[in-house]
Amino acid sequence: MDVNKYYNDLEADMDSCVVQRWVLRLTMMQQSVLFTAVRGPDGLPKYHHSKYLLRWYRRCILKSAMDRDTLTEPFSPNGGSFTGPSLLNGDRGRAWEEEMNEHVGAYLRAVDELPHHFQLHFMHAAEILGYKHPDRRIRDWWHKTYLRLVHDMHVWPETEEQLDSRLGDCREQWLERADPATAA
């Protein structure tokens, strides 16, 4: 086997992969958590507050298929509807974090409209972004969002070490935090 050809082919495959490269450096369990939140909840209007957060979320882990590129802020008009903008009119005089925080507030006010199962997937995905995203500005925003989601549920957040233990591709560590009723 020609090892150089193999690695060149693998590199070419990565160029056509929709997942951002940094995601592939996570544990498989953490990657799985990120993918569970990509789809979003069924039965809600296209412009529900959850959809604005989801479009920004998708931009943070996926490349835009339409642009074949990583979109690093929530307002550029690219991305189609799946990874499209969460904010209108970039360069509005306010930091995007402030405007996205308004979406988080609206999301939390409407959280009873969402399936609880989706809410848990989204909260855990936000946690991973808040600890693992390579861009500090994005990572910090998601960490603050994770804390808001957790505190809204009146529970304590995990530390990064606790996250890594629970979702570290080690069944024994995962079982330490699993309920016996759901540990298959």
Please report whether residue 139 resides in a domain: yes
**Residue 184 falls inside a structural domain:** no
Q: What is the pLDDT of residue 83?
A: 92
Q: What is the pLDDT averaged over residues 92-108?
A: 91
Q: Looking at this protein, which amino acid is placed at residue 91?
A: D
Q: Which of 57-61, 68-72, 177-181 has the lowest mean pLDDT?
A: 177-181
pLDDT at 183: 79
Helix, coil or strand: residue 19: strand
Q: How confident is the model at residue 6 (pLDDT cuts 50, 70, 90)?
A: low
Predicted pLDDT at 175 = 85
Q: What is the pLDDT of residue 117?
A: 93
Using a pLDDT cut of 70, give the percent of the chain over it.
Answer: 91
Q: Which long-range contacts (CB under 8 A, 24 or more apart) does 18-22 make?
A: 18/62, 18/63, 18/65, 19/61, 19/62, 19/63, 20/60, 20/61, 20/62, 20/63, 20/70, 22/132, 22/133, 22/134
Give residue 91's pLDDT: 54
Q: From residue 39, how far is each of 8, 14, 33 by CA, in Å?
A: 32, 22, 12
The total number of structural domains in the chain stands at 1
**Is residue 183 situated within a structural domain?**
no
pLDDT digits (tens, 9 = 90+) for 8-60: 666 666 777 999 999 999 999 999 999 999 998 888 888 888 999 999 999 99
Is residue 182 in some structural domain? no
Query: What six digits make up the tokens of 66?
Result: 């339409």
Q: Report how far Cα 9 is from the mean position of its chain's Cα atoms.
A: 28
Q: Which residues of the chain form beta strands (DSSP E)?
A: none
Backbone φ, ψ for residue 92 (5° rounding): -95, 5
In terms of residue numbers, what domain contains 79? 3-177
pTM flag (> 0.85): yes
